[in-house]
Chain A
Amino acid sequence: MFFRILGESFFRNPARKWLEAAALALGMAITTAALVTALDVGDRMAREFRRLGANLVVTPKTDTLPLEIGGTDYRPVEEGAYLKDEDLGKLRTIFWRLNIVGFSPFLETPAELERGQNRIAARMIGTWVKHQVTVPDGTTFTTGVLQTHPWWKIEGEWFPDDEVVTRGTPSVVAGASLASRAGIRPGERLKAWVGGKETAFLVKGIVTTGGAEDQAIVVPLGMVQRLTGHPGEYRRLSVSALTSPEDEFAKRNPDTMTQADYDRWFCTPYISSIAFQIRQALPGAEVRVVRQVAETEGRVLGRLSALLWLVSVTALVSVALVIGSTSATTVLERRREIGLMKALGAGQRRILGLFVAEQIIVAACGGLAGYLAGEGLGYLVGKIVFGIPGTGRLVLLPVVLALALAVTLAGSLWPLGRVARLDAAPVLRGE
């Protein structure tokens, strides 16, 4: 009997049920899409922020004070300590190895270029462009300035990193300011002197960076290592890592943490814990956080996700009220039906049970449809905004279903209670 009445109520007047379910589905779609976007935004934006370049810098620990002005280190090459580039594979063995998106070692030296009768002084900066690093676990990792300095613009071609060891004339690229000052064109052969040693190379391209490299010649790392007599060594390493924004917890000193707190700190990709892990992987290295990048990133990310959460909550509350009122309207509309049931001898509990069962069915259908539509929308927003579709989160399904149920029940219980308490006769008369 109960189920017959329930079935009748759905088939006899489907329009109301459809409306309620549609409102519910729309509302839950908003909620799901907003939650999917808010949950994803941290990871996505962190990747965008890597356009700002490296957020960690590694230098040798026992070094003399670098004399760096405008991006150029004026220390003599013989002075100071060096780090070994064969250790760099270890960066991909730390706990947060997958968060290390790239790293580039740098070694530079003063040089003189031959231009006609004159010699022009210029820095020679050695680095990797797209270098295969062997990771101790047997895999390889390709990294270089293409990853860590994405704003460098090349006109012509980059040099192949490993050519220097295999063939005679190595290829290099020239900084834009140097090239225009000295009239260097891609495809030109140049002669240069480094520490009295003569060397020749082929200019493959012109690079614009907006930094000190514009005034320099950028060459394969191996070439500077060979010319300066520091094989396998570098002086500065830029590391680009994906991090989560620092909160109050991240700023605490790891030495004074309890074991549980320490584990939590170690297992969260805070920039400080990644720096700590790199320090463990590279003995003798000083790892510093580039505050200019890290601080801005943290603040903008924190604010953006706070904003999106508040947007989600605002949408959620308003949607809950709208759906609640739709449910209330559909119940109020059925006062006569309730009056009739009462007149025919139905108890209050029975009537309530019937309506609650109806609402549960509507909530389940609307909630499920809304969840699917919302996942679709989240996928779409991710694809449009970031080019990477949003990830489906099954975790949200029970949350959304529970929410749908809570909202419809909350919306309908109040009018139900009011109607059920009324006497049958006046309701039937239409008062």
Chain B
Amino acid sequence: MFWRVLRQMITNGRGRLAVALVALVSGATASAALLNLEFDAERKFSHELRALGPNVLVRSAVAPGGSDDPGTVFDADAASGLLSAAPGGRVTALAPSLYAIVRSPGAETNLVLAGTWLDAYPKLAPWWSVNGAWVTDRNDAKACLVGQQAAARLHVRPGSPLEVRYGPRTATLEVAGIVSTGAAEDDQVFTNLAVAQQLAGLPGKVSLVQMSVAGTPEEVERYAVQLGPRLPGLEVRPLRQIAQAEGQLLARVQDLLFWSVGLILILTSLCVLATTLALAIERRADVGLMKALGGQMTRIVRLFLVEAGLLGAVGGMTGAVIGTLLSAWIGRQVFGTATSLRMEVIPLILAVMVAVALVGALPLRLLSHVRPGIVLRESK
């Protein structure tokens, strides 16, 4: 009897229920999409801020001394040990560098030559803009990249040869590309690490290791502290500028999304509640009729609550699925990669929507003390 009446109610009230369902589905869709985005946003923005470049430097603990001493060098073996010492793939990019002040005989000028692993730079310094070609092979002993200011001074273009001299030794390189960064790199020449070591007469030595370490600023700081004791004589230094700004920016972005998504969720639920309330008010006459026909109030209320619950479940489920797909689409539009889907969002949305539908149906209980005659007459 109970289920027959329920089926009757649903088939007879298709129009109204469909309208209420639209409200539930669209509310659930927006909520699910926003929750998914909110959960994923921190990871996404953290990834974006990683593009700020190296956040940990390793250099000799002995400070650079005089006016013409470009820093103390240390054994490169320590650098290769860094990757293996890193706990669980936290280092996303790493490059050792050796700096030397060399002379270009052609242009009669001194310049800074940096020997490094150029293949690591697209990851380590993604803001470098290269006119020409990148050097993609770490062992390429011929190619070099020239900073734009240096290139203007040296009068070189991609493809030109470039001769550099350090004391009695010389090396002839070929310019692969012109780099512009807006910082000190604009004045420097970048080439293979071994070439610089051989030119400077410092085989196996480097002056600096730059690392890009993934994680929150605290994690990066902790990583630097852990790494320190394993590298005696070296100083492991997190870059404050990057770490601090990154943490603060992430906190702001998170706050912003949390508050806007939180507000939208609450208000959307209330909005859906208004619709289910309107639906319930409309059902007064039905309640009155059932009561007049001798139905028990608890039974009648249960009937309507089951109806509302079913409506909430169907609406919530449909909305959660559509919303999840929508958030994947938004993720691809904004970040270029799909949002990773959080399965716990679906039961959460389902629960919220069923709850909203049930709360919306609750005013029907208040009708229990109303005499059916009055309700029936009023509705005419």
Interface residues of A (CB under 8 A from B): 15-16, 19-20, 22-23, 26-27, 29-30, 33-34, 37, 41, 45, 48-49, 51-53, 57, 64-72, 74, 76, 110, 121, 149, 151, 153, 177-178, 181, 208-211, 215, 288-296, 299-300, 303-304, 306-308, 310-311, 314-315, 317-319, 321-326, 328-330, 332-333, 336, 377, 381, 384-386, 415
The reply to whether the CB of B278 lies closer than 8 angstroms to some CB of chain A is yes
| 26 A-B pairs (CB sep. < 8 Å) | A15-B281, A20-B278, A27-B267, A29-B267, A34-B264, A41-B256, A45-B252, A64-B110, A66-B184, A66-B187, A68-B112, A69-B71, A69-B184, A69-B207, A70-B64, A70-B208, A76-B67, A149-B241, A209-B241, A210-B240, A215-B63, A315-B268, A321-B23, A323-B271, A332-B282, A336-B379
Q: Is the CB of B256 within 8 A of A381?
A: yes
Bound Cα distance A350, B241 (Å): 70
Bound Cα distance A325, B18 (Å): 9
Which one of A70, A209, A385, A386 lies within 8 Å of B240 (CB-CB)?
A209
Which one of A66, A306, A318, A319 lies within 8 Å of B333 (CB-CB)?
A306
Q: Is the CB of A292 within 8 A of B252?
A: no
Which one of B127, B238, B267 lies within 8 Å of A210 (CB-CB)?
B238
Which one of B26, B182, B261, B267 lies within 8 Å of A290 (CB-CB)?
B182
Q: If the complex has contacts A26-B274, A292-B182, A333-B278, are A307 and B41 also in contact, measured as CB distance less than 8 A? A: yes
Q: If the complex has contacts A57-B182, A326-B275, A329-B282, are A291 and B127 also in contact, measured as CB distance less than 8 A? A: yes
Which one of B52, B244, B267 lies within 8 Å of A292 (CB-CB)?
B52
Q: Is the CB of B51 within 8 A of A69?
A: no
Q: Is the CB of A65 within 8 A of B153?
A: yes
Which one of B22, B149, B245, B281 lies within 8 Å of A52 (CB-CB)?
B245
Which one of A22, A210, A288, A321 lies within 8 Å of B241 (CB-CB)?
A210
Q: Is the CB of B281 within 8 A of A16?
A: yes
Residues 36-91 of B contacting A (Cβ, < 8 Å): 37, 41, 44-45, 48-49, 51-53, 59, 63-71
Which one of B26, B101, B186, B380 lies within 8 Å of A67 (CB-CB)?
B101
Nearest chain-A residue to B33 (Cβ)?
Answer: A314
Q: Is the CB of A291 within 8 A of B181?
A: yes
Shortest distance from the beta carbon of A6 to any chain B beta carbon, whole Å: 20
Chain A residues with Cβ below 8 Å from B188 are 68
Q: If the complex has contacts A291-B181, A310-B334, A328-B19, are A65 and B248 also in contact, measured as CB distance less than 8 A? A: no
Q: If the complex has contacts A15-B281, A19-B277, A314-B34, are A288 and B252 also in contact, measured as CB distance less than 8 A? A: no
Known: A299-B51, A322-B272; 6 extra A-B contacts, CB below 8 A, are A23-B274, A296-B48, A322-B22, A329-B16, A329-B19, A329-B279
Query: Taking each of B41, B253, B256, which has the highest tally of chain A beta carbons within 10 Å of its own beta carbon?
Result: B256
Shortest distance from the beta carbon of B54 to any chain A beta carbon, whole Å: 10
Which one of A153, A307, A321 lies within 8 Å of B26 (CB-CB)?
A321
Q: Is the CB of B27 within 8 A of A333?
A: no
Q: How many residues of B contact A (CB 8 A)?
A: 95
Q: If the complex has contacts A68-B112, A326-B23, are A26 and B267 also in contact, measured as CB distance less than 8 A? A: yes
Instruction: Fill in one digit per residue for B86-116: 1 if any A CB lies within 8 Å of its CB, else 0.
Output: 0000000000000101000000011110000
Bound Cα distance A64, B275 (Å): 73
Q: Is the CB of A288 within 8 A of B182?
A: yes
Q: Is the CB of A321 within 8 A of B65?
A: no
Chain A residues with Cβ below 8 Å from B172 are none
Bound Cα distance A294, B128 (Å): 12
Chain A residues with Cβ below 8 Å from B358 are none
User: Chain B's interface: helix, strand, loop or mixed, by majority?
Assistant: helix
Shortest distance from the beta carbon of B69 to any chain A beta carbon, whole Å: 8
Shortest distance from the beta carbon of A411 to any chain B beta carbon, whole Å: 9
Q: Is the CB of B71 within 8 A of A26?
A: no
Bound Cα distance A333, B274 (Å): 15
Chain A residues with Cβ below 8 Å from B232 are none
Q: Is the CB of B52 within 8 A of A52?
A: yes
User: Chain A's interface: helix, strand, loop or mixed, by majority?
Assistant: helix
Ordered nearest first, which 4 A-B pairs have the shortest CB separation? A110-B67, A210-B240, A318-B30, A23-B274
Nearest chain-B residue to A23 (Cβ)?
Answer: B274
Residues 259-304 of B contacting A (Cβ, < 8 Å): 259-261, 263-264, 267-268, 270-272, 274-275, 277-279, 281-282
Chain B residues with Cβ below 8 Å from A333 are 278, 281-282
Chain B residues with Cβ below 8 Å from A315 are 30, 34, 264, 268
Q: Is the CB of B63 within 8 A of A319?
A: no
Bound Cα distance A289, B127 (Å): 11
Q: Is the CB of A332 within 8 A of B150?
A: no
Which one of B22, B70, B281, B330 lies within 8 Å of A74 (CB-CB)?
B70
Q: If the complex has contacts A16-B278, A69-B112, A381-B259, are A332 and B271 also in contact, measured as CB distance less than 8 A? A: no
Q: If the complex has contacts A49-B249, A292-B183, are A215 and B64 also in contact, measured as CB distance less than 8 A? A: yes
Q: Is the CB of B274 within 8 A of A22?
A: yes
Bound Cα distance A74, B15 (Å): 81
Q: If the complex has contacts A19-B274, A303-B48, are A296 and B23 also in contact, measured as CB distance less than 8 A? A: no
The reply to whether the CB of B129 lies closer than 8 angstroms to some CB of chain A is yes
Bound Cα distance A385, B264 (Å): 16
Chain B residues with Cβ below 8 Å from A37 are 256, 260
Shortest distance from the beta carbon of A206 to any chain B beta carbon, whole Å: 14
Shortest distance from the beta carbon of B253 to any chain A beta carbon, whole Å: 6
Q: Is the CB of A318 within 8 A of B26?
A: yes
Q: Is the CB of B20 within 8 A of A325?
A: yes
Q: Is the CB of B259 within 8 A of A319?
A: no
Q: Is the CB of B22 within 8 A of A321?
A: yes
Q: Is the CB of A292 within 8 A of B37?
A: no
Shortest distance from the beta carbon of B100 to any chain A beta carbon, whole Å: 9
Which one of B127, B207, B271 lies within 8 Å of A319 (CB-CB)?
B271
The reply to whether the CB of B125 lies closer than 8 angstroms to some CB of chain A is yes
Q: Is the CB of A377 within 8 A of B263?
A: yes
Shortest distance from the beta carbon of B207 to any chain A beta carbon, whole Å: 8
